[in-house]
Amino acid sequence: MLDVLGSLERTHTCGELRESEVGSQVVLMGWVAKKRDFGELVFVDLRDRDGITQVVFKSDNFVVVHDELPTNEGGQITFMGEVVDSSEALNKARFLRREFVIAIKGEVVNRGDKKNEDLDTGEIEVHADELLILNTSRVLPFQLEVAGSENLAAEDTRLKYRYLDLRRPQLQHNIRMRAKAVRAIREYFDERGFIEIETPILLKSTPEGARDFIVPSRIHTGKFFALPQSPQILKQLTMISGFDKYYQIARCFRDEDLRADRQPEFTQLDMEMSFANQETAYREIEGMFNHVFEKVGGIELPAEWPRMTYAEAMRRFGSDKPDLRFEMELGDLTDTARTIEFAPFQATENVVKCIVLKGVKDIENRKVGEIINIHDISRKSLDDLEEFVKRYGAKGLANIRIGFEAESVFSEWPDPADDIPEEKQGVVKSSLMKALGFNKLYRLINATNATPGDVILIVAGRKSVVAAALGALRVEIAKRENLIDRSAYKPLIVTEFPMFEHDEVTDRYTAAHHPFTSPMDEDLEKFTTAVNDESQHHLLGEVRAKAYDAVINGYECAGGSIRIHQKDVQALNFKALGMSLESARTQFGFFLDALEFGTPPHGGFAAGIERTCMILCGTENIRDVMAFPKTASAQDLMMDSPGEVDHAQLQELGIDTILDA
RNA sequence: GGAGUCGUAGUUCAGUUGGUUAGAACGCCAGCCUGUCACGUUGGAGGUCGCGGGUUCGAGUCCCGUCGGCUCCGCCA
């Protein structure tokens, strides 16, 4: 083939032409999305990243076919010699197949009453008089356009041919949305005087936090770099260097198991500023997200986001990243339950909490997003929900179902605990009926805000288990019952995170955020006591940090903290974490040194680009907002990575592999 | 590391109690068709039922193991 484009130059994209261009000569280039062949009349839906335009090949206006022409013999498409003949030419348009790449030149024609309402370009079509076949294509291993996403080919097939899957308009849209988001982030921080600084990808491994990806050094045989889990220390060093305001779109790596919203490599907006307190940081979080959501999605978030402490979030929602698009807050039954003789209620380490599913009689007219239809709560779905909470360590899920008839029964006997006749007690049904009896159940009902028609779901157990179980159940039910308003965006800043997490196996405290997070001023004394007085060590569990998260629609989109800038507090923290000064020096010596040379108070946050884009794109899967993602088992099915390495290459690095037989 | 779930034509799926030659739709190939846009129509090709083993006269179907996709727990900001 010669110079395939010849003298043609693209004048428009396939999503661009409108009635106003009617009459003009245009050149379009793109992929054959579909062909409708009538013999003497051929329609082609021509697709590029911008859209689809219908191209018409007719014998009376289609005169020139450039270049070499394909022929199909025994299913094998090959090129033949050049033909430039008008009637012959049309036949050649019939050789076009899906995903052939072509250029066409022609006139824009008004479709009149043949408009296609489903197409942005539907009011026009292009009558081709020149066709240039730029490339052929094999039949695709799966169909790009199918009715309904549930009919898409299996994801592993699509991941193997990711470059084809990316041709789908949905993924095209998501990836471009992501580009817009990153651009909006840069806009925001550039505008506000932040300096973009790149930090190294080859760092040093540290045992804290997630598992590192390790890179061997050839020059220093036997030694290894580690890829950044985040540029945490380096961005703090830029503060010590006096850059004052830093940001970076930073690739991060964590060698941990994957989830629907977690990949081994991901991108975060990383920012840090000097002379900042929590409020300064909150303002930047709000400012950045508000700018991005407005620019990218035209979505207006509140100028000031609601704030909630970690403790309150856990108490009300059983989660540190509550989805505020729906209600269903957790109710506390612990006090009432204590008065009831029932082993799970009595255990002193246990709390008893519940969620109330609001019932409604008029199923047809229920308001989506507010009210649940308890008529759907069958025996089986209650069992389902119990299975669900058990995954989080709950021993069981008790239920109390209050019939609508309870309305009249409760009003006839205002104090039903004593007076309701046995034959009327059937208005309440419960998995605890046998164990507790009607009167005790009634006390529990009274301790909630449940009304006739509602279902109460109860979990008793250790505080952390109850929160995890009910917090997850709340979201699960909202999804199953379609209680979530998909057009709503509910941001939240969660504050006062605990400084430490307790590891029950080793009875040690680990950094909840990271080891450079500052404790809250109010808790500094407690912190000091806990570290210095062995007997008060447990107080570490109560120390709160100047750490915060940004949560949108139940996703943790950003997290950050005010850092420790004083070396004695930092030393205290290492001690709390059970790290000797020597081992701290080995790992972070350079950083401890740096802290002693005039470190300004500073803090910042990091925002997950993918999670933010997931919300903007309305998807629950991180792979939908990444161009080339990995599978749940951390493999790339397209390039088949990770792969083995040549023996000589390993030898040069002084590395041998040990494989389990 | 653990649990759940799925795996049948290129794709999405159906496949009865274990029983003849494993079906449908879309896609693909060939023919016809000048206004389609989910074109229509006629005909055709296309299968290691993920893989391995077992039970059985007989396995897509039952059993055991294994591999892979997805989701969740553990793990992970």
**Nucleotide B69: closest residue by CA–C1':** A156
The SS3 of residue A579 is coil
Q: Are A351 and A394 in contact (CB under 8 A)?
A: no
pLDDT for residue A89: 72
When comparing pLDDT for A511 and A92, which is higher? A511
Task: Classify residue A159 by its DSSP letter.
Answer: H
> For all residues of chain A together, what is the average pLDDT?
89
Tokens of A272: 């840090």
Query: Per-residue confidence at A55, pLDDT binned at 50, 70, 90?
Result: very high
φ and ψ of A31, to 5 deg:
-105, 145
Residues 616-635 of A with CB under 7 A from strand B: 621, 623, 631-633, 635
pLDDT per position as a tens digit, A288-346: 999 999 999 999 999 999 999 999 999 999 999 999 999 999 999 999 999 998 999 99
pLDDT for residue A63: 62
pLDDT for residue A372: 56
Q: Are A547 and A573 in contact (CB under 8 A)?
A: no
Q: With 80 as the cut, is the pLDDT of residue A369 above it?
A: no
Identify the CA nearest to A637 among candidates A99, A165, A150.
Answer: A165
pLDDT for residue A92: 79
ipTM of the predicted structure?
0.93
Q: With 60 as the cut, is the pLDDT of residue A84 above it?
A: no
Q: Is the CB of A54 under 7 A from strand B?
A: yes
Q: Are A317 and A478 in contact (CB under 8 A)?
A: no
Which residues in A83-122 are b (16+ Cβ under 10 Å) and which e? eeeeeebbbbbebbbbbbbbbbbbbbeebeeeeeeebebb
When comparing pLDDT for A481 and A214, which is higher? A214
Distance CA A525, CA A540 (A): 11
User: Residue A251 CA to B1 C1' — how many Å?
Assistant: 28
- pTM recorded for the entire structure: 0.92
Positions of strand B less than 7 angstroms from a protein CB: 1-2, 10-13, 26-30, 32-40, 68-77
From the alpha carbon of A630, which nucleotide's C1' atom is closest? B69
pLDDT per position as a tens digit, A429-463: 899 999 998 889 999 999 999 988 889 999 999 99
Positive or negative, the CA dihedral A542, A314, A607, A579 is positive
